[in-house]
Amino acid sequence: LYGPDAEDTFFQFCHLWRPVRCAIEVNAHNRKFYNSLVRRKIQAGRAGLNLMPVETSKDMMVRMNDISPDFSNGAILVSDAPLPFLKKFKDQWLGFGTKGIKTDTLSAVHLARDAAYNLLPKESAQSLQAKKHAKPPLSIGKAIEAAYGVR
């Protein structure tokens, strides 16, 4: 979809799902699309719709290297639900770099991650769990007593 049809579809989805933030790729011709969405948003009185311009690299390997640590350390978890989007995502993730494998879903996940990056935990799930079960640190006085063998 391009032009007014794509814009109409975008606003229909926004009306249906009420997103907090929408990341819009603004490379090349997508900048026109973003500008048009902003204009229509203002004209329609949708000030609460947060459109976020995102510049992406043409090199998909750069984008994959950007998001892969979030999956590796557990900041982003992938559901086991048998949904078509998740199957497509997993197929593209596992087949990335193979000739003939599309990357449109991976690109969408990268945009979504950029839009929600401030909401992601900055530590892995394992380190957060370890902190929960760690002993509280000693007070300075107790640490000095322990160092000199005073009881």
Task: Give CB contacts under 8 A, 24+ apart, made by 68-71.
Answer: 70/113, 70/120
Query: pTM, whole model, 2 decimals?
Result: 0.63
DSSP for 101-122 reads: ---HHHHHHHHHHHHTGGGS-S
Under 8 Å CB-to-CB from 5, ≥6 apart: which residues? none
CA distances from 123 to 8, 73, 102, 113, 128 (A): 39, 8, 31, 16, 7
- Given a cut of 70, whether residue 104 has pLDDT beyond it is yes
- Given a cut of 90, whether residue 39 has pLDDT beyond it is yes
DSSP state of 78: -
What local confidence, expressed as pLDDT, does residue 43 receive?
92
**How many beta carbons lie within 10 A of that of residue 116, not counting itself?**
13
DSSP for 30-55 reads: HHHHHHHHHHHHHHTT-TT-EEEEE-
Distance CA 72, CA 68 (A): 6
- Given a cut of 70, whether residue 42 has pLDDT beyond it is yes
- Given a cut of 70, whether residue 78 has pLDDT beyond it is yes
